[in-house]
Amino acid sequence: MKQNFTVRRGALDGIEAFLSVARHRSFRRAAAELGVTPSAMSQAVRALEARLGAALFLRTTRSVGMTEAGERFLARARPAFEELVAAAEGVRDLGARPAGLLRLSVPRAVVPILLEPVLASFCRAYPEVDLAAGGFDAGIRLGEFIAADMVAVRLSAPFRLVVVGSPEYLKRRGRPERPGDLRQHACLRVRRTGGALAPWALNDQGRRIEISVSGPLIAHDFSTVLAAAREGVGLAQVPEPIAEGLLASGKLERVLDRSALLAPGVFLYHPDRRQTPPKLRAFIDHLKRGLAELRQRRGERGDRRSGRS
């Protein structure tokens, strides 16, 4: 007997609306993302709930939460919907220029190191792709903070996390000679995206240790603590590449250099889809080429300064 494998008409209606509300925990923000009214968004989700026979959201006047049924449905609907989108984009864009909205999640500290030099050239090369921070097509993070189920693409070599201070601060407070001395110093700290304060990690004779430090400033990015260190507010622990210019000019100095920890480097990551959307593949390829050229130019400048030919 022949079986009917046709998808029932309307079976997928409301799925994108549901996923958007689940991501934002807000009907209003989800409606703005999809370009519809909040009323239309609510109607789409209610129609989906009616077809499924279960409530997916807990709605109050102040918040939107997920029911147990909603959480279960989300766990299976999200990867399935992403596969459908990737499949459609792969067919539609086969042999065509990458286009659409490319959403990136990027820490501000990474922008001047890796992205500023190549973003402008990417926008010129692919004018039909719009870049936006937020959502999630891809993200850029230190390797140690990337989930195991993500595809990771290396963007930088491993680098050291160095402790730096201004000459004025070091003259006033002295130079720490061992990691434990940091407890007597004003140490500028970074708060992670999840809200926790990042401890200072150092290398103690080949062993990674974490030091609980305190100081007058807590920021959400390395750029802010670096600027404060330059002004003599305290010591900062930052990726060495973002401090290179200030170190070369003498506005900052390294301390505890032998205790600098080697970080795994910066990676671009994205969900493990069977087919990478053309817009994301174009961005990854362009970023790799741009960063390789940037590293080459920096190496040539370094050779000229050192007198090598």
**Looking at beta carbons, which pairs linking 94-100 to residues 24 or more positions away fall under 8 Å?**
96/278, 97/126, 97/128, 98/126, 98/128, 98/129, 98/277, 98/278, 98/279, 98/281, 98/282, 98/283, 99/126, 99/128, 99/129, 99/278, 99/279, 100/128, 100/129, 100/130, 100/277, 100/279
- The CATH number assigned to the domain with range 159-263 reads 3.40.190.290
Q: What's the confidence (pLDDT) of residue 136?
A: 66
Confidence at residue 3, expressed as pLDDT on a 0 to 100 scale: 47
Summarised one tens digit per residue, pLDDT across range 35-66 is: 899 999 999 999 999 999 999 999 887 788 99
Of the pLDDT bands very low, low, confident and very high (cuts 50, 70, 90), residue 6 is very low
Closest CA to 69 of 57, 59, 85: 57
Domain boundaries along the sequence of the chain: 15-92, 100-153+267-306, 159-263
Q: Tell me whether domains 15-92 and 159-263 share a fold.
A: no
Say what the pLDDT of residue 151 is. 83
Structural contact between residues 256 and 163, judged by C-beta atoms closer than 8 angstroms: yes
Who contacts 23 (Cβ-Cβ below 8 Å, separation ≥6)?
Answer: 30, 135
Q: Of all residues in the chain, what percent carry a pLDDT higher than 90? A: 39
**Residue linked to tokens 């009917």:** 4
Is the per-residue pLDDT at 83 higher than 90? no
Instruction: State the architecture of 15-92 in CATH terms.
Output: Orthogonal Bundle (1.10)
Dist. CA 202–CA 225, nearest whole Å? 18
pLDDT at 292 over 70: yes
Whether the predicted pLDDT of 115 surpasses 70 = no
Identify the pLDDT of residue 127: 79
- Position 22 scores a pLDDT of 92
- What confidence score (pLDDT) does residue 97 get? 63
CA separation for the pair 64, 38 (Å, rounded): 13
Q: What rounded mean pLDDT belongs to the chain?
A: 82
Q: pLDDT category, 92, cuts 50, 70, 90?
A: low
pTM value?
0.59
Buried b (16+ CB within 10 A) or exposed e, 81-93: ebeeebeebeeeb
pLDDT of residue 205: 84
pLDDT digits (tens, 9 = 90+) for 149-182: 788 888 888 889 999 999 999 999 999 999 999 9
- Tell which CATH classification among 3.40.50.720, 3.40.190.10, 3.60.10.10, 1.20.120.160 matches the domain 100-153+267-306: 3.40.190.10
pLDDT in tens, 221-275: 888 999 999 999 999 999 898 898 999 999 999 999 999 999 888 888 887 666 6
